[in-house]
Amino acid sequence: LSWFRDLRLIIKSLIAHGLILLTFLIIPILVFQLLEEQRIISLEQKLDGVRINLAGRQRMLTQKMSKELLLFTMNKIDKEAVQKTMTTFEQTLHALTNGGNAPTDLQLKNHRELPPMEVIKIKNQLEKVMGLWHTFKSNSMKILENPEDEKALNDLIHNNTIILSEMNQAVNIMQASAEEKNLVLQSQISAFYWRVVSGLIISFLITTVSFFVINLIIIKPVKHSLLMLKDISEGKGDLTNKVTIHSKDEVGLLFVYINQFISFLSHIIIQIKEVTGKTKGISQNLMAGSEEAAASLEEMKHNIEGIKAKSVHLDNEIHSTNQVANRVREFISDVTRLIASQSSGISDASASIEEMSASIQSIVKVSVEKLKIVNELERTASYGEKGMKENVEIIKKVASSAHVIMDMIGVINNIAEQTNLLAMNAAIEAAHAGDAGKGFAVVADEIRKLAEDTSKNSHDISNSLKEVINYIHVSEESTNKTGDSFVNIVGGIKEVAGGMVEIETAMQELEKGSSNVLLSLNSLVSIASDVKKSSDEMDQRVGTITESMNNLLDISADTKNGMEEVAYGVNELYKIAEVVSKSGTMNNDSITELEVLVSQFKVDDRDALPQEV
C-alpha cells in the first residue's frame, strides 16, 4: 500500500467514500428491482385471474343463451334480453382473444381493458371457440327471426354442447398456463432474493475493507503523531524531539511543518533569553524616571485645581445674573404680548359691537313688520273660530233632523206591517169567497207585495240614515276638536303678538346700549396703542442688557472650559505617569518571570531558523 500512502488525502477520501457510496447505491437498486419484479408478477397474476373468471363466465353464458332461446320460442322472454346475453358473450370472447374492452357485468355497464392473448395455445383454442360461435350466432339469429325454425333450434342445441366443451378446454388450458407461469415467477423471485442477499454481503465487505484501510493509512499515523506531540507538550518544554514522518500526503506535510515550527520556536526561545537580559536594565531606568515625573505632575495638579475652582465660581455668578436678566426680558415680552393681545381683542370687540348694532337695527325693523303680520293672523283666526262655532250649530241641527226622519221611517214601517196584515186577511177572505173573490185575491196579493217592498225599502233607508247619523256625530266631534284648536291658536297668536311687542322694545334699548359701548371701546383702543409703544421701547433696552450679559457669559464659559481642559490634561499626564511607573515595575517583574519561564525550555544551541520546504 505504499502507492496509496503517497496519495493526497482528498483522493484517499474520494476512493473510500466512493466505495461506501457504491454499496449504498447497490442496495436500493437491488431492492427497487425486487419490488418492481413483485409488482409485475402481481399484475400478471391479477390479469390471469380476470381472464380465467371471464372464461368461466363464458361457459355459464353458453348455457344461459341456450335456455333463453328456448324460452323465447315459448314466448316467455323478450328478444332484447337474449340479444344482450349474446352481445356479452361475443364482446368477452373477442377481448379474451384479441384484446379490448370486456364487459364485467351482464348489463354491459362496466368494462375491463384486456391485452391480446399472448399464449399461442390458449389463443388457438379461443379462435376455435370463435369459429363455433359464428355458427351458434347464425342459428340464434334465425331463431330470433323465426321462433318456429326447428332445424335452427336443433343445430343450436347440438352446437351448444360443442361450444361448452371447447370453452371448458380453453379454461383448463388457462388454469394450467397460469399455474406454470406462477412456478416460473416464484423461481425468478427466489433467484432475485439470493442476488439481493449477495449484494448486501458484498456491500458489507466493501464497507469493512474501506474502514480498515482508512484506519491503517490515515487514522493510525495521526494517532501516533498525536502521542509524540503530547510527549513534547508535557515534557517540560523539550524542543529537541521531532515528529516521525510516515507518508508524503497532507498528513506527512503537516508533520514536516510541525518539525519546522519546533525548530523555529527553539531559535526564538534562544533569542528571547538574550533580549531578556538587555530589557531588564532598560526597565529599571524607566521605572526610576517615571516616579520623578509623577511627583512633579502631582504638585502642578494641585495648583491648577485651585484656579479651576475660582473660575467655576465666577462663571456661576455671571450665569445667575444672566438668568435674572433673561427673566426680566421674558416678563416684559409677556407684558408686551398681553398688551398687543388686549389691543387686538378691543379692536375685534369694537367691530363685533358695530356689527351687532347693525343687526339690532335690522331686527327692530323685522319685528315691526312681523308684528303687523301677527295682528292680521290674529284677526283671521278669530274669524275662523266664529265660523267653526256656526258649523257646530248647523251639524247639531242636521243631527236633530236625522232623528226626526228615523221616527218617520218607524211610522212607515208600522203602516207597511198593518198593510201586510190587511193583505193577508183579504187573501183569506178571497179564498173563502171562491171564484167570486179571485179578483179581490189578486188585488190583495199586489197590496201584500207593495207592503213588503215598502218595509224592505224603509229598512234600507233606516240603515243608511243610521250610518249618516254616525258620520254626523263623528263630524260633530271633529268640528268640536277643530273649534278647540282654533281657540288655542287664537290664544297662542295673542301671546306671540305680546312677545313681539316686548322684543321690539328690548331691541331698541339694546341699540342705544351698543352705541355707548362702541364709544368706550374706541377710547380703549387709543390708550392700548400708547401702552404698546412704551412696552416695546422697554423691551429693546432690556434686550441690550441681556446681549451684554450673554457676551460676558460666553467669555466666562471659554475661560472655565480652558481651565477644565488644562486641569484634565494635567490630570491625564499624572495618570499616565503613574501608569508608566506601575508599568515599569510590572515590566521588571514580567522580565524576571519571563527569564524563569524561558529557562524551562530545553533547546539545542545549534538550532537556526528552519529552511523553507
Mean pLDDT, residues 434-463 taken together: 75
Select from 400, 443, 438, 395 the least CA-distant residue to 423: 443
To the nearest whole number, what is the mean pLDDT of the chain?
Answer: 74
Domain ranges within the chain, ordered by starting residue: 2-202, 274-598
What local confidence, expressed as pLDDT, does residue 585 receive?
73
Beta carbons within 8 Å of 577's beta carbon, 6+ residues apart: 290, 293, 294, 297
Q: Are 568 and 253 in contact (CB under 8 A)?
A: no
pLDDT level of residue 116 (50, 70, 90 thresholds): very high
The grid coordinates of residue 477 equal 266631534
Check residues 162 and 279 and name the one with the higher pLDDT: 162
Amino acid at 342: Q
3-state secondary structure of 602: strand
**Is the CATH number of domain 2-202 1.20.1080?**
no
Segment 550-603, tens digit of pLDDT: 766 676 676 667 667 766 766 776 677 667 667 767 776 777 776 666 665 566
pLDDT level of residue 256 (50, 70, 90 thresholds): confident
Residues paired with 112 in a beta bridge: 102
Amino acid at 228: M
What local confidence, expressed as pLDDT, does residue 280 receive?
66
Residues paired with 238 in a beta bridge: 602
Q: What is the share, in percent, of the chain residues with pLDDT greater than 90?
A: 4
What local confidence, expressed as pLDDT, does residue 291 receive?
65
The grid coordinates of residue 103 equal 364487459
pLDDT level of residue 486 (50, 70, 90 thresholds): low
pLDDT level of residue 418 (50, 70, 90 thresholds): confident
Long-range contacts of 131-134 (CB under 8 A, 24+ apart): 132/159, 132/162, 132/163, 132/166, 133/89, 133/90, 133/93, 133/163
Please give the CATH topology (third level) of the domain spanning 274-598. Answer: Helix Hairpins (1.10.287)
Mean pLDDT, residues 342-371 taken together: 70
Is the pLDDT confidence value at 534 over 70? Answer: no
Is the pLDDT confidence value at 330 over 50? Answer: yes
What local confidence, expressed as pLDDT, does residue 247 receive?
63
Long-range contacts of 197-204 (CB under 8 A, 24+ apart): 199/26, 199/27, 199/30, 200/27, 200/30, 202/23, 202/26, 203/22, 203/23, 203/24, 203/26, 203/27, 204/23
pLDDT level of residue 612 (50, 70, 90 thresholds): very low
Mean pLDDT, residues 404-423 taken together: 74
Residue with cell 503613574: 578
Q: Are 453 and 423 in contact (CB under 8 A)?
A: no
pLDDT level of residue 152 (50, 70, 90 thresholds): confident
Is the pLDDT confidence value at 305 over 50? Answer: yes
Mean pLDDT, residues 284-292 taken together: 65
pLDDT level of residue 301 (50, 70, 90 thresholds): low
**Alpha-carbon distance 549 to 593, whole Å?**
64
∠ CA 555-557-559, nearest 5°, is 70
What local confidence, expressed as pLDDT, does residue 609 receive?
45
Cβ neighbour number for residue 366 with a 10 Å cutoff: 14
What local confidence, expressed as pLDDT, does residue 467 receive?
78
Cβ neighbour number for residue 602 with a 10 Å cutoff: 14
What secondary structure does DSSP assign to 562-613, as a single string?
A: HHHHHHHHHHHHHHHHHHHHHHHHHHHHHHHHHHHHHTT-B--TT--PPPP-
∠ CA 561-567-569, nearest 5°, is 100
pLDDT level of residue 545 (50, 70, 90 thresholds): low
Cβ neighbour number for residue 458 with a 10 Å cutoff: 19
**Alpha-carbon distance 218 to 436, whole Å?**
164
Cβ neighbour number for residue 315 with a 10 Å cutoff: 19
Question: Which range, 258-262, 297-301, 345-349, has the best average confidence (pLDDT)?
Answer: 258-262
Question: Model-level pTM?
Answer: 0.34
Is the pLDDT confidence value at 466 over 50? Answer: yes
3-state secondary structure of 151: helix
Q: What burial class does residue 95 get, using C-beta atoms within 10 Å of its C-beta: 0-12 exposed, 13-18 middle, 19+ buried?
A: buried
- State the DSSP code for 243: P
pLDDT level of residue 255 (50, 70, 90 thresholds): low
What local confidence, expressed as pLDDT, does residue 542 receive?
62
Mean pLDDT, residues 211-235 taken together: 67
What local confidence, expressed as pLDDT, does residue 40 receive?
72
What secondary structure does DSSP assign to 78-92, as a single string?
A: -HHHHHHHHHHHHHH
The grid coordinates of residue 316 equal 456661576
Residue 116: phi and psi, rounded to 5, are: -65, 150
What local confidence, expressed as pLDDT, does residue 501 receive?
72
Question: Which range, 12-26, 178-192, 472-486, has the best average confidence (pLDDT)?
Answer: 178-192
**Alpha-carbon distance 249 to 269, whole Å?**
30
Is the pLDDT confidence value at 296 over 80? Answer: no
Select from 121, 123, 104 the least CA-distant residue to 112: 104
Q: How far is CA 138 from CA 10, 95, 128, 147, 165, in A?
A: 83, 20, 16, 14, 19
Check residues 53 and 314 and name the one with the higher pLDDT: 53
The grid coordinates of residue 414 equal 208600522
The grid coordinates of residue 59 equal 361457459
∠ CA 176-180-186, nearest 5°, is 145
Is the pLDDT confidence value at 132 over 80? Answer: yes
What is the C-alpha R_g of the chain? 69
What local confidence, expressed as pLDDT, does residue 599 receive?
66
What local confidence, expressed as pLDDT, does residue 128 receive?
92
pLDDT level of residue 492 (50, 70, 90 thresholds): confident
Check residues 7 and 407 and name the one with the higher pLDDT: 407
Select from 328, 346, 348, 323 the least CA-distant residue to 535: 328
Is the pLDDT confidence value at 94 over 90? Answer: yes
- State the DSSP code for 110: -
pLDDT level of residue 611 (50, 70, 90 thresholds): very low
Mean pLDDT, residues 79-85 taken together: 89
The grid coordinates of residue 189 equal 423471485
Return the sign of the alpha-carbon dihedral for residues 129, 131, 135, 138: positive
The answer to which of 84-88, 419-423, 550-554, 588-592 has the lowest mean pLDDT is 550-554
Residues in the chain: 613
Cβ neighbour number for residue 225 with a 10 Å cutoff: 19
Residues paired with 101 in a beta bridge: 113
Is the pLDDT confidence value at 48 over 60? Answer: yes
What local confidence, expressed as pLDDT, does residue 346 receive?
65
The answer to which of 61-75, 226-240, 498-512 has the lowest mean pLDDT is 226-240
pLDDT level of residue 613 (50, 70, 90 thresholds): very low
Q: Are 602 and 236 in contact (CB under 8 A)?
A: yes
**Alpha-carbon distance 523 to 350, whole Å?**
10
